[in-house]
């Protein structure tokens, strides 16, 4: 089965890291293709970045649909464009925030999200509410680390994240940690060993949930609001994004 993992930001080093985490999680027989859009923000850490990441992300889904891709992972913790991607995909589309939160809910009654900049905490909290984890998500903790500092080996990111995880476990009654950024995927194993609790990276979790759904023959519903987008004209710079009546070109 082919799973396309999309890093919706344009930082190639992060795409490589995400691809490694996805391949490490994948079962034999699963092919992982990890891509990022050719245009858009280099990192996603506010609502504006999220909005401008979505056209490129949807372009990657459209291209992969033509290759017969079985499932998609949106590898950014804001799960940008998730609903729109589902409208144009036949297979499952899994966001890493929803995957990580669901995984955490299977192994703890409550979890903490440890993320990047303080301002992204509200975004993660809103996702927890939207996915039904209002009670289970005991806290969302920022580390004041910009996303691209996770790509800098001299940033001290690991120590800062470890410290915040420890505070979450000590103060928030959490039994598990959810990593709040795809760029933290490579830190999971060491953090889990050091903290002695489940530490969940959404990239790996989303790959496993995708494999499970595809194996079960379950794709995205095409009834109701996940039906194909309505064919219509888009104007100006977005003309090429217009949904077509011929689904192969949507
Ligand atoms: C992210 C992420 O996973 N990728 C990105 O660009 N920003 N998440 C975050 N909390 O900052």
Identify the CATH number of the domain in which residue 39 sits: 3.40.50.12500
Q: 125 with 77, same domain?
A: no
For 234, counting Cβ atoms within 10 Å of its Cβ (0-12 exposed, 13-18 middle, 19+ buried), the class is exposed
- Which segments of the chain does DSSP mark as H helices, in order? 12-25, 47-66, 82-88, 96-107, 121-130, 157-171, 188-195, 202-215
116 Cα to the center of ligand 1, angstroms: 7
Q: What local confidence, expressed as pLDDT, does residue 79 receive?
A: 98
How is the beta sheet containing 137-141 ordered, strand by strand?
A: 137-141, 111-114, 176-179, 199-200
Q: 39 with 79, same domain?
A: yes
The domain of 184 spans 97-201
Q: 158 with 144, same domain?
A: yes
- Closest ligand 1 atom to the C-alpha of 76? 3
Q: What local confidence, expressed as pLDDT, does residue 236 receive?
A: 97
Q: What local confidence, expressed as pLDDT, does residue 246 receive?
A: 59
Give pLDDT < 70 ranges for the chain: 246-250
44 in contact with ligand 1, CB cutoff 6 A: yes
120 vs 128: CA distance, rounded Å: 13
53 in contact with ligand 1, CB cutoff 6 A: no
201 in contact with ligand 1, CB cutoff 6 A: no
21 vs 73: CA distance, rounded Å: 12
Four-residue CA torsion sign, 210, 213, 218, 224: negative
């Amino acid at each position: 089965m082919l799973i396309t993992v999309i890093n919706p930001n344009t930082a190639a080093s992060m795409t490589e890291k995400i691809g490694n985490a996805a391949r490490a999680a994948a079962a034999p027989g699963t092919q992982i293709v990890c891509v990022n859009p050719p245009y858009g923000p280099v990192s996603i850490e506010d609502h504006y970045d999220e909005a401008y990441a979505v056209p490129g992300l949807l372009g990657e889904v459209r291209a992969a649909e033509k290759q017969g891709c079985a499932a998609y992972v949106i590898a950014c913790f804001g799960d940008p464009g998730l609903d729109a991607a589902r409208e144009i995909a036949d297979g499952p589309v899994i966001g890493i925030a929803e995957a990580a939160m669901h995984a955490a809910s299977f192994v703890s009654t409550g979890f903490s999200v440890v993320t990047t900049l303080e301002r992204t905490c509200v975004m993660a909290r809103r996702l927890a509410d939207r996915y039904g984890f209002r009670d289970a998500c005991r806290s969302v903790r920022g580390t004041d680390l910009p996303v691209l500092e996770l790509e800098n080996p001299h940033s001290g990111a690991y120590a800062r994240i470890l410290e915040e995880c420890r505070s979450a476990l000590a103060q928030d009654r959490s039994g598990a940690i959810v990593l709040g950024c795809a760029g933290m995927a490579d830190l999971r194993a060491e953090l889990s060993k050091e903290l002695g609790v489940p530490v969940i990276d959404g990239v790996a979790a989303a790959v496993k949930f995708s494999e499970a759904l595809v194996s079960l023959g379950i794709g995205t519903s095409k009834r109701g609001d996940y039906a194909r987008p309505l064919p219509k004209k888009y104007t100006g710079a977005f003309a090429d994004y217009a949904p077509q009546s011929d689904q192969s070109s949507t």
